[in-house]
Amino acid sequence: MSQYFSRPLPRILAIMALFAAMLAATVTTQVVTATKAHADGCYTWGRTLSQGMSGEDVRQLQIRVAGYPGYGAHLAADGDFGPATKAAVQRFQSAYGLSADGIAGPATFTKIYGLQDDDCTPIHFTYAELDDGCGGSGYDGGPLSEAATKANALQTMWQLEAMWHALGDQPLSITSGFRSISCNNSVGGASNSQHLYGRAADLVGAPSLCTLAKQARYHGFGGIFGPGYPGHDDHTHVDIRTTNAWDAPNCGI
Ligand SMILES: [Zn+2]
């Protein structure tokens, strides 16, 4: 009898040891994850980035500096760190008083971490501010998937963050951002409106609609419609299309 019970014991010990090992592995994994999350809840860069490199980390950087392409230009978030990305990083660095070497290292990433929330939106804008313009919420009901629409909205917000900073961090409000198809129809928006794709924002605020329209030209906004353009005397529309269509006659644009 005692022999019968004593035989399985080593197996039980072995199973217990296995569980202990698995538990230890789980705890280790959680600690590593928690450390990364502590560095930044949104995205953590693991290497210094410079011209000639490529990857998802480059693309994530490009989204953050998309508002610094230079006058009338547009930065593609394509994951390839070319001369245009270097120039955009330099402008970003200059805007925040960093050494403008065009190399994204710890100082640049620390600045970016300080500028973003845990959902990767820049600190002065939120997904909720840009979602359904007809009083709904969320990013569904447009021609693109919800994820693709949100990705567009994210880049729009980073370009707006650059503009906000260039204008001296003055109050800036969004009166309409993403519009679902039904929302766009109800407000009489154009059938190919950039608002449908999460790529547009209607702005009001400091210091004037014309100042907003003029400044937008430096931050990658291909679509700018403001005072003097039909239906745009009470807001300035900006969108992230990559072919310039600027029209704000009362602002000299
Ligand atoms: Zn608009």
- DSSP strand pairing (245-247 vs 236-239): unpaired
pLDDT at 26: 45
Closest to 155 in 3D by CA, of 186, 190, 210, 194: 194
34/48 Cα distance (integer angstroms): 22
pLDDT at 134: 83
Per-residue tens of pLDDT for the chain, all 253 residues: 444 444 444 454 454 555 555 444 444 444 433 333 334 789 999 999 999 999 999 999 999 999 999 999 999 999 999 999 999 999 999 999 999 999 999 999 999 999 999 999 999 999 999 997 787 789 999 999 999 999 999 999 999 999 999 999 888 899 999 999 999 999 998 999 999 999 999 999 878 999 999 999 999 999 999 999 999 999 999 999 999 999 999 999 9
N-terminal to C-terminal alpha carbon distance within the chain: 96
Q: φ and ψ at 95, to 5 degrees?
A: -60, -30
CA of 176 from ligand 1 middle (Å) equals: 7
Indicate the residue type of 220. G
Task: Identify the H or E element spanning 203.
Answer: strand 200-205
CA of 196 from ligand 1 middle (Å) equals: 10
pLDDT at 40: 74
Cβ-proximal residues to 132 (8 Å cutoff; 6+ apart), any chain: 138, 139, 141, 178, 179, 180, 183
CA of 238 from ligand 1 middle (Å) equals: 7
Which pair of structure tokens corresponds to residue 68?
């610094």
3-state secondary structure at position 242: coil
241/57 Cα distance (integer angstroms): 23
pLDDT at 62: 98
Q: φ and ψ at 247, to 5 degrees?
A: -155, 105
CA of 66 from ligand 1 middle (Å) equals: 20
pLDDT at 136: 74
Query: Catalytic positions, please?
Result: 232
In angstroms and rounded to an integer, the radius of gyration of the C-alpha atoms of the chain is 24
β partners of residue 105: none
249/102 Cα distance (integer angstroms): 36
What single DSSP character describes residue 220? Answer: T
User: Cα dist. 193→81, 181, 188, 200 in Å?
Assistant: 31, 10, 10, 8
Closest to 204 in 3D by CA, of 117, 92, 94, 129: 129
CA of 133 from ligand 1 middle (Å) equals: 10
CA of 46 from ligand 1 middle (Å) equals: 38
Closest to 40 in 3D by CA, of 106, 88, 85, 103: 106
Indicate the residue type of 133. G
